[in-house]
Amino acid sequence: MNTQVNTILFDLDGTLIDTNELIISSFLHTLGKYYPDQYDREAVIPFLGPSLTETFAAINPENVEEMIAVYREYNLENHDLLVKDFDGVYETIRQLKEAGFKIGIVTTKVLMVAKKGLELSKLDPFFDVIIALDHVQKPKPDPEPILKALELLGSKPEEAIMVGDNSHDILGGKNAGTKTAGVAWSMKGKAFLSGFQPDYMLENMTDLLAILEVGKK
C-alpha cells in the first residue's frame, strides 16, 4: 500500500450504515402513492445511489419536489426503526481515527438525514467533514463533492481513497483523481460494482485496516 494515503472518504448509505431496507421501503411508499402496484422491490433497487431529484425527475418531471417531500416524510418517520449497522464498520472507523487518518463523508443525502444516521450508529464523533447534497451543485459521480471534502480536509486527491457501494462512488472517486474501494455488501452486487474497476474491493470494512497497514508495527 502506498503510504502517502492519509485520507479516507466514505459514502454513507449502504456503505457505513445499512439503510437499504429504509430506502427501498421509502421508494415503494412514495411510488405506490403515485403509481399503485407498478413498482416492486426489484424495480426500485436501481434507485439506490443517485440523488432523489435525479430518480424522480426521470419518473415524473412534473412532481419532483412533491415526491421528494413524500419520500422524506416517510423516510424520517421510519429511520430509526429500519436502519442497521454493517459488521466491522464502527471498529474500522474508530481505528482509522486513532491512527491519525483524516476521514470524511460524501453523501447524496441531505445533511440533516445524514447526521441522523451517524448519530444512530454512534459514528458521528469520528468524522472531520460531511459533504451532503445541500453543499454542492452537482452530486456524485461529478467530482465536486469529493474535491470539496478534500479541500476542507487539506488533502490532495492522490492522498485519498473514496469508499462506496455504488457506481456513483467509484466513478466520482475516479473523476476526482482519488483511489477507490468498492464494498462487496453493495445491494447492487459485488459483480456490478467490480465492473467499474475500483482499486480495491472490501469483503468487510475491516479490510481497509489491512490495506492501510493500520495496527502493524
Residues of the chain with CATH 3.40.50.1000: 7-18+84-211
Share the mean pLDDT of the chain: 94
Catalytic residue among 11, 13, 165, 169: 11
Q: CB 137: neighbour CB atoms within 10 A?
A: 7
pLDDT for res 216 = 65
Q: Find out if CATH 1.10.150 is the number for domain 20-82.
A: yes
- Mean pLDDT, rounded, for 73-78: 95
| CA 154 – CA 117 distance, rounded (Å) | 25
The answer to whether residue 215 scores a pLDDT higher than 80 is: no
Of the CATH numbers 3.40.50.300, 3.40.50.1000, 3.30.9.40, 1.20.120.1200, which one belongs to the domain with range 7-18+84-211? 3.40.50.1000
pLDDT of residue 2: 47
Predicted confidence at residue 194, as pLDDT, reads: 96
Task: Find where cell 463533492 sits.
Answer: 145
Percent of the chain past pLDDT 70, that is, above it, reads 98
Length of the chain, in residues:
217
Beta carbons within 8 Å of 17's beta carbon, 6+ residues apart:
83, 84, 85, 86, 89, 117, 118, 120, 121, 123
Residues of the chain with CATH 1.10.150: 20-82
Considering only 39-43, 48-52, 144-148, 191-195, which range has the smallest mean pLDDT?
48-52
Give me the mean pLDDT over the 26-52 stretch.
94
Mean pLDDT over 158-184 rounds to 97
In contact, 140 and 106? CB cutoff 8 Å: yes
11: annotated active-site residue: yes
Residue range 175-197: mean pLDDT, rounded? 95
pLDDT, residue 49, reads 81
Question: How many angstroms separate the most distant Cα atoms in the chain?
Answer: 59
Is the bond into 145 cis (omega within 30 degrees of 0)? Answer: no
Over residues 152-167, mean pLDDT:
97
What crossing angle do the helices spanning 64-82 and 111-120 adopt, rounded to 10°? 10
pLDDT tens column, 12-25: 999 999 999 999 99
Kindly tell me if the per-residue pLDDT of 35 is higher than 70.
yes
